[in-house]
Amino acid sequence: MNYLAHLFLSYDDSDIAIGNFIADHVKGNKFEFLKRDFIKGIKYHRLIDSFTDQHPVYRKSCSRIRKSQRHYSPVAMDLFYDHFLALHWDKFSDEPLENYCQRFYSSLLKHQHELPAKSQKIVPYLIKENWFIHYKTIEGIQKSLRGISRRSAYQNNLEFATNDLFEHFDLLEQDFFCFFDELTNYCKKEISKL
């Protein structure tokens, strides 16, 4: 799952959400400088990633695009699943996506000085370009994929991954709904243990 799903699965705990957001910018256990609830969010993020990576429906989704995306199929799939979440946000939340994002952005800005350097660096771009709202559109997903492709040290086809999304849209959307239902049930249990 990419940023939006991780935030949604933080269930309105802003500190857990921030930890969830910064988790990919913190390697190993080098987080002793962070606030306790941010650390909980990092650990929670890793539980979500582990559940996702091992889930048969998610793996099936990745296999649908593996021929063109190879090693990068999970990277593309994480964004595709965020696209489906943004597209169908009203099925999962009573709060409009725009309001949800603004609330998260406010929380991020309030704690920006406490974040790892890499996270601090992307916050202005995240907010200015309103990434999560743009996940609703194919163009927004395309822009995100292009950015990841450019930053990657290895050859990849991510720039063309939206072709895979178009080709398998209905099946991937079905996969998402099936998977996300199981993921939310898992997360509701796990977040209460933090």
- Examine the pLDDT at 194 and tell me if it is beyond 90: no
Confidence of residue 38 (pLDDT cuts 50, 70, 90): very high
In 124-194, beta strands by DSSP E: none
Least Cα distance to 191 among 44, 20, 43 occurs for 44
The answer to whether 190 touches 41, Cβ cutoff 8 Å, is no
Task: For residue 164, count other CB atoms closer than 10 A to its CB.
Answer: 22
d(CA 2, CA 78): 5
Summarize the confidence of residues 6-35 as an average pLDDT: 93
Confidence of residue 30 (pLDDT cuts 50, 70, 90): confident
Domain count, the chain: 1
- Examine the pLDDT at 1 and tell me if it is beyond 90: no
The answer to whether 82 touches 101, Cβ cutoff 8 Å, is no
The answer to whether 183 touches 51, Cβ cutoff 8 Å, is yes
Summarize the confidence of residues 139-161 as an average pLDDT: 95
Summarize the confidence of residues 164-190 as an average pLDDT: 98
Structural domain boundaries, residue 176: 3-191
What mean pLDDT is reported for the chain? 96
- Examine the pLDDT at 43 and tell me if it is beyond 90: yes
The answer to whether 162 touches 141, Cβ cutoff 8 Å, is yes
d(CA 149, CA 161): 10
d(CA 121, CA 89): 27
pLDDT of residue 32: 80
What angle in degrees, to the nearest 10, is found between the helix axes of 36-54 and 169-191? 140
pTM as predicted: 0.95
- With tokens 């946000």, the residue in question is 89
12: left (phi over 0), alpha (psi -120 to 50) or beta: left
- With tokens 């002793």, the residue in question is 32
Cα–Cα–Cα angle for 31, 32, 38, rounded to 5 degrees: 60
Summarize the confidence of residues 165-176 as an average pLDDT: 98
pLDDT of residue 134: 95
Confidence of residue 13 (pLDDT cuts 50, 70, 90): very high
- Examine the pLDDT at 169 and tell me if it is beyond 90: yes
pLDDT of residue 97: 98
Summarize the confidence of residues 8-13 as an average pLDDT: 96
pLDDT of residue 129: 93
pLDDT digits (tens, 9 = 90+) for 72-86: 999 999 999 999 999
